[in-house]
A and B are shown apart, each in its own frame.
Chain A
């Protein structure tokens, strides 16, 4: 399994790291006023995907916002989120290294396809040439070589979804949150893009949380499935 490139791994603590690695949701409970929306306790191993299912309004997106660092102050949350042993809960969103994929591709309309990816590429990689090459390579990886200068508005739905994935991955996230990213695509495309996403997650060995109401998504993700269902909560095991 490929090592997470961000985390220095001192050999002496190897055992502890195996345990730490991945995304840990430790006794997470989110409520709004007197109503408890959800409770989750568990660990997502690197390369695997936890699927959270439930009807709209069940708090799926709230969990998403909590992990990514955008929880509305109207909600109360307790518990901790740890990513590779580092607690995220107190960090601002920009320091969490959690990649997001939304229902819509949300490509920035004022940037070309390539500029969307350059925006995401870490600054560590310096030099115009090297940065462009990295972006071209990433685009080729999602089957969109030679699309660098395209205007996002001219892309098809499937292409936009792949650019969005490429943009998220090129930032080298340490975890990935997927908010129904396939629901806007038609049946045929859905299978291809879904396959692409989960293959990358496994290859890069990053933990992912998928929020969806499509059982086929859950099946493709292949990991644990949590149904936060009608009651709006699932008690900690």
Chain B
């Protein structure tokens, strides 16, 4: 018989073995380590040191070669603009939407309608947008009839030199993402009572929201916003599909040098990776300055006493950005589907006159292998991430046993370490890891790829799981402990079963994150481990819309299935328990 050890005596024994919180630091360090190692791996060749390629003396030659590249300033400018504009437009769109629609039906509609968009990978969304806005895309087909033109207009829309199409593609994907994150964070800003208070003081709805609720919401979603900033300033996949090529944004050019057959270019690529870190750092710095500036403006506006009561018309303006982004992605997906089944489809026709299965008959056999690789890597990375994140969150909770019931959060330092891979540009440190992999003569395997994906999957799993994990009433476990159950039993028999739904959602988010990874897959897989994502992006230059449509749909299919399963499984697992499903 198991001895009924009171909870209070079992914890000190447990903590003598492992100091509480130690594993949290260990795991956070483990996740951040590749960033440091990768940056070092990029830094050394950047100053001329790479024995494998005969670089044994330190020199600034790689940087001189880099700065001699034509159009480098334009590439840097594109990266800066992409990082700043994408984030600014996306964040502003979210703020306006919430200000206009908080507490209305539109709010609920948006949540329902946008949630599936989380499943759409960046590349698929970008292809969809391309099919929509290209001169021969749906928009111009719809315009062709009333304006009477019978051939696509001669306009440079995709790959425009200012990168507008690229930024539109990024915004279309990031704005719904940030809106969903903001909707989840909203309840912590006590919106109903704050709005009631501000309106009883005479403020119009929109002003009341922006001045009293939004600042708290923004603080909650700041990390994802910064992740968007970093991502957009170092983007590769969306840039390859929608971005300019003469010159391309910095990260795209770096990838070209990194994969060049001429290995000596890697010195310059390393220097470029360091430059990319500086560019992303500058974007983040400017963004933080902008935060201060808008904060000061908001404070100013909130102290003059103006009530901003007239906000009719605001709703229409406020709904536009989110509605445009959401419908662009949805329409884009539909176009991918239509193209994948289309027979001959001439220009002004809005729909193809005939459909066939030829495309799919060609694509399915070829895509089976990459799909299997994608699935395996994603499921491995997501499960490993879940295990790590659970240990991390539990280890933090152990420190709070005495004050159970108090609000628990990860220490800022640990959170910073976990999220570091989302803030440092991928291309910089993953390239360093590639250099390391080469130096260690490691073969690219599915396991290796999963380990690298894990670096990017774990932060998102942690982001998704932390709040529900710490929101569970600690008394359930106190009751179990008083019944004589140890920490492991409590975790597996009480906590995890009660949190089935959020755990599965977190796994699905991790899975989707892995499926969407382009850059780490290309760099670490070295072309020998094609996934559905690398195959799809590789099709961008070919321009066969039917094949692209099919691949992009397949790329969306895996995350979509993961989200659908994560939504259905809790009900299938325990159909008889009603209370458990209640959030």
Contact = CB atoms under 8 A, between A and B. Distances in A.
Interface in A83-135: 92-100, 102, 106, 108-111, 115, 118-125, 131
A99 B200 contact: yes
Given A108-B212, A110-B216, A95 B309 contact: yes
Given A94-B309, A95-B202, A68 B196 contact: yes
A109 B193 CA distance: 14
A172 B508 CA distance: 52
A166 B208 CA distance: 19
Contacts of B200: 68-69, 93-94, 96, 98-100, 173
Q: Which applies to chain A's interface (DSSP): helix, strand, loop or mixed? A: loop
A112 B216 CA distance: 14
Nearest to B202: A94
B302 A118 contact: yes
Q: Which applies to chain B's interface (DSSP): helix, strand, loop or mixed? A: helix
Contact of A94 (B194, B203, B216, B299): B203
A70 interface: yes
A189 B248 CA distance: 66
B303 interface: yes
Given A94-B199, A100-B197, A106-B193, A123 B303 contact: no
B5 interface: no
Nearest to B198: A119
B305 A122 contact: yes
B215 interface: yes
Contact of B303 (A99, A106, A109, A115): A115
B305 A123 contact: yes
A39 B204 CA distance: 30
A97 B305 contact: no
A115 B299 contact: yes
B305 A100 contact: no
B305 A131 contact: yes
A70 B212 CA distance: 17
Contacts of A111: 299, 302
B201 interface: yes
B349 interface: no
Interface string B224-265: 000000000000000000000000000000000000000000
B190 interface: yes
B213 to A, nearest CB: 9
Contact of B307 (A68, A94, A100, A109): A94
A125 B305 contact: yes
A95 B205 CA distance: 11
Contacts of B303: 115, 118-119, 131
Contact of A93 (B199, B211, B212, B302): B199
B305 A106 contact: no
A100 B304 CA distance: 21
B202 A110 contact: no
A111 B211 CA distance: 10
B199 A119 contact: no
B306 interface: yes
B304 A171 contact: no
Closest 6 CB pairs of A and B: A123-B305, A118-B303, A110-B215, A93-B199, A94-B199, A100-B200
11 contacts: A69-B199, A93-B200, A94-B200, A94-B202, A94-B307, A95-B202, A99-B201, A102-B193, A106-B194, A106-B197, A110-B215
Interface of A: 68-70, 92-100, 102, 106, 108-111, 115, 118-125, 131, 171, 173
Interface of B: 190, 193-194, 196-205, 208, 211-212, 215-216, 219, 299, 302-307, 309
Given A94-B200, A96-B200, A99-B201, 7 more contacts: A70-B196, A108-B194, A115-B299, A118-B304, A119-B201, A119-B303, A124-B305
